[in-house]
Structure 1
Amino acid sequence: MKASAFVYPWDVNGDPWAPERIAALGVDQVTLAAAYHSTRALTPRHPRHRVVTAGHAAVLYPPGDARWEGRSLRPCPAGAWAPGDAYGEAAAALTDAGLQVHTWVVLAHNSRLGTEHPDTSVVNAYGDRYPWAPCVAQPATRAYLVELAAEAAVRPGAHGTELESLGWYGLAHLHAHDKIAGVALGDAAQYLMSLCFCPACRAGYAAQGLDPVRLADAVRAALEPVWRGAPCDGGWAGVEKLLGESLAAATRAWRDDTARSLQETVVAAVRAAAPDGFQILLHADPVSYHCGANAGVDPGHILSVADGVVVPCTGGAGLLTPFAERAPEGAVLAANFTVVSGMGGRPGTLAEDAARARTLGATELRLYHAGLASDGDLAAVREALDDS
């Protein structure tokens, strides 16, 4: 199967051996970050540094002034961790090494946006804002995300893009010094804690026939036993048990419609800006009410919109099945495996895991992450790809 490794520009720039080292893994392409959230990343082989701290969500290239003129919401350029056209510099070096480059674009995950423009954030039923989670129902936020996708995805020389966080983000977030694990929140409680009650979402609930004030009261009442330690059922049945079937269905209808329309609009904008043959994939979860980097989608719908999906498979490849059951001929189903042992990956079983994914419908592999992995992890990847 075709394989691609995720890479940051700072893994490549300033390291003259990085492109050939990545090519030697046996991958066909790289998925190179062009717009990314804040992070702290290890660079274990770089000759100039070992840790890169990206202080805020940023585009890793110079944003176009004309495109963003007069807009209150606009992308921030990176700081010293990715100066100038860091993406372009890395892309050129990787291309010279014989690798096809696709952009990696993070959309509705941006703590700086929420800090500088608090009104853009998801607001839970208690009135708490999630600054890392832009509300994808708000017209201004949607316009910003569409424009960002069109610019960041279609960088010079890119053959395709992978769009991450193109949907709802919620409570779950790898926040600095995270302290929210004191109460075990299952799938259902996570959903209720991720429901947004900003003005746009309140209007959306009203359009579904709900009183948003009463809905917020109902969400808080449903969660009260959870805070006292009561267990709750998982899956959508758990949401229905906590909130009631009719309320749960109405909230999901609003959120599903909102995410689907944004996904359609973003993909259309990228296609309009891209050359013929440009591939558009979404990082996706086949359960539409799920939130996060792998946006919850309806498999049949998203495969009618985009060219395919990138599916998290580190914990098992079962999430591929709903996509495979609905995939049209030629759709890309990329199985995404973490190959960093220290982050829960199993590079030593990659060949076996990839074979299993293939039987479930995977057409390609994604390897997270060529820059973060140790030498031993990369050696295991090379061996697995040699055997595949």
Structure 2
Amino acid sequence: LYPPGERWRGREPRPYAAGDWAPGDAYGEAARALRDAGLDVHSWVVLAHNSRMGAEHPATSVVNAYGDRYPWAPCIAQPATRAYLTALAAEAAVRPGEETRGTELESCGWYGLAHLHAHDKIAGVALGEAGQYLMSLCFCGSCRAGYAEQGLDPAELAGAVRRALEPVWRGGHEGEGWPAVEQLVGADVAAATRAWREETARTLQETVVAAVRAAAPAGFQVLLHADPVSYHCGADAGVDPGHILSVADGVVVPCTGGAHLLEPFAARAGNGTVLAANLTVVSGMGGSPATLAADAARAADLGATELRLYHAGLVSDADLAHVTEALSHAE
């Protein structure tokens, strides 16, 4: 959405130009229009979620226990990928000359099985948290080395994951939450995989936020899209609430269907911490614009200091009418 910087010359992987749908400095034009209308401008940077990168550079992708690659999920343990994500965050979050006031960093952590391609069809078996976690474990070279550092044999671990999932594929009940992961592969093995993955994610988040701050002017706000369950994967990266609020200025939390995920962050929030409740307002995407006012009030009761409405640019006229009505009564 902006002219590529010199930092990418000769580097692989590197970002792609947006193309004809957003030529030139589309971000700059939009930022100036918003600023002229009296609005603060914050950037939104998607990091470890890039299907084109996986298609053109397959070695960068997460590899599951069966040897399948997830091209939409760059492995954040690989040094080259970490360097790419850090450089991209620093460049895209802070656009010089546009008076960008802050940024939101999406998918700044592990991606996994979720968020498939349009024609992937595996929904015949609904996976719970344990199945999602095991299917999201990466077995690329970097992750195999990481498991070995934790005292695990990577080949034995992959076999254990496949054996654990066999009854799940046959429709067996996998249990709930982290205890189900421990039951499927053993508590010690589960803990070792989690230790490797959480350290990898934490250090990436620290490095990325530090790079953004180094490139930004004083007072620049840095938020992460986050989930308080640290072993979760996806656009809302699993984090430790206390740790991430010591690194970033706040978080954007998924609250569609319920705002309970705010509570662990609210318990660790300090003065000035931003806790933004993200509510989907597109009916066709599972949102509930008709209950926006009540949902926003509930989020505020649980500690939210701000709202995010996903995604105003995609709503129908009927959904937009509900949003307008709810916001017209907001205090």
Are residue 356 (structure 1) and residue 298 (structure 2) matched? yes
Q: Distance in 2 between matches of 1:161 and 1:339?
A: 21
Relative CO higher for 1 or 2, CA cutoff 8 Å, sep ≥ 6?
1
Task: Name which of structure 1's ranges 178-187 and 301-310 shifts more when overlaid on structure 2.
Answer: 178-187
Give the number of the structure whose residues are more often strand, by fraction: 1
Q: Distance in 1 between matches of 2:176 and 2:52?
A: 32
Kindly indicate whether the alpha-carbon contact (under 8 Å) linking 2:76 and 2:82 is maintained by their aligned counterparts in 1. Answer: yes
Trace 1:66-145 onto structure 2 (pairs within 5 A): 66-145=6-85
Q: Distance in 2 between matches of 1:229 and 1:336?
A: 33
Are residue 242 (structure 1) and residue 242 (structure 2) matched? no
Partner residue of 1:377? 319
Are residue 153 (structure 1) and residue 98 (structure 2) matched? no
Partner residue of 1:7? none
Q: Distance in 2 between matches of 1:174 and 1:200?
A: 23
Question: What letter corresponds to residue 14 of structure 2 in structure 1?
Answer: R
Following superposition, the deviation at residue 88 of structure 1 comes to 1.2
Q: Distance in 1 between matches of 2:4 and 2:243?
A: 31
Partner residue of 1:291? 233
Q: 1:253 aligns with which of 188, 195, 211?
A: 195
Question: What letter corresponds to residue 369 of structure 1 in structure 2?
Answer: H
Partner secondary structure for residue 182 of structure 1: coil
Task: Name which of structure 1's ranges 319-328 and 173-182 shifts more when overlaid on structure 2.
Answer: 173-182
Cα offsets for 1:183-219 (capped at 9, x unmatched): 1211101100000000000000000011111111111
Q: Distance in 2 between matches of 1:94 and 1:153?
A: 17
Partner residue of 1:61? 2
Q: Unaligned 5+ residue runs, structure 1?
A: 1-59
Q: Unaligned 5+ residue runs, structure 2?
A: none
Q: Distance in 2 between matches of 1:161 and 1:83?
A: 22
Q: Distance in 1 between matches of 2:294 and 2:170?
A: 43
Following superposition, the deviation at residue 308 of structure 1 comes to 0.2
Partner residue of 2:155? 213
Q: 1:192 aligns with which of 102, 117, 134?
A: 134
| Aligned length, in residue pairs | 328
Following superposition, the deviation at residue 141 of structure 1 comes to 0.3
Tell me the percent identity: 79
TM-score normalized by structure 2?
0.97
Cα offsets for 1:36-80 (capped at 9, x unmatched): xxxxxxxxxxxxxxxxxxxxxxxx11110x211221111010111
Are residue 314 (structure 1) and residue 256 (structure 2) matched? yes
Q: Distance in 2 between matches of 1:327 and 1:257?
A: 22
Partner secondary structure for residue 112 of structure 2: coil
Following superposition, the deviation at residue 177 of structure 1 comes to 2.1
Q: Distance in 2 between matches of 1:185 and 1:381?
A: 33
Following superposition, the deviation at residue 315 of structure 1 comes to 1.1
Task: Name which of structure 1's ranges 92-101 and 106-115 shifts more when overlaid on structure 2.
Answer: 92-101
Q: Distance in 1 between matches of 2:126 and 2:325?
A: 39
Are residue 340 (structure 1) and residue 304 (structure 2) matched? no
Partner residue of 2:106? 164
Q: Distance in 2 between matches of 1:235 and 1:299?
A: 18
Kindly indicate whether the alpha-carbon contact (under 8 Å) linking 2:253 and 2:277 is maintained by their aligned counterparts in 1. Answer: yes
Cα offsets for 1:305-325 (capped at 9, x unmatched): 000000000110000000001
TM-score normalized by structure 1?
0.83
Q: 2:245 aligns with which of 287, 292, 303?
A: 303
Cα offsets for 1:288-329 (capped at 9, x unmatched): 100000000000000000000000001100000000011122
